[in-house]
Structure 1
Amino acid sequence: MEDKELLLKVRNPETRGYGFNLLVRAYQQRVYWLVRKMVIDHDDADDITQEVFIKVHKAIDQFREDSQLYTWIYRIAT
């Protein structure tokens, strides 16, 4: 699914939960391995990945689409 479609679903109050689930599925592995390279420990990487997506959820309405969605998530993760 394209980022624009994901954002439409996440930003629509009626489909926000479903859209966010799709967003997590689309980017969870990439974020996990990015974090895992930094912290090495699996459990720590899982916890940090979860924290990243909590921050994404809270801030998604502030995403201005000046960059790719993953680039924005990457900045949150690092």
Structure 2
Amino acid sequence: MKFYLRGLIPAISQLFPCVEHRYCLRHIHQNMRVKWKLKEYKDHLWRCGTATTVLEFEHCMREFSNYDREECEWLRKIPPKH
């Protein structure tokens, strides 16, 4: 994913300056599964990723942090706006 962050994202923002960029939740999950393979992690991730309000997102992230702080910190490195 780091390769894309260095090259693809800046290139797309130059070509389409008014377009909002989002990460694919399925690809985030694939990266997450390298270390955290249980279905519970996927469930928490999808709850956070599909939250429709900031309050709901923060609530889901707190629940995730209570489940596994290390995994939640890994997820927090991805800016929520994406």
Which TM-score bucket, shorter chain as reference? 0.3 to 0.5
| Higher RCO (CA < 8 A, seq sep 6+) | 1
Q: TM-score, with normalisation over the residues of structure 1?
A: 0.33
Please report the TM-score for the alignment, with normalisation by the length of structure 2.
Answer: 0.32
Indicate the structure with greater helix content: 1
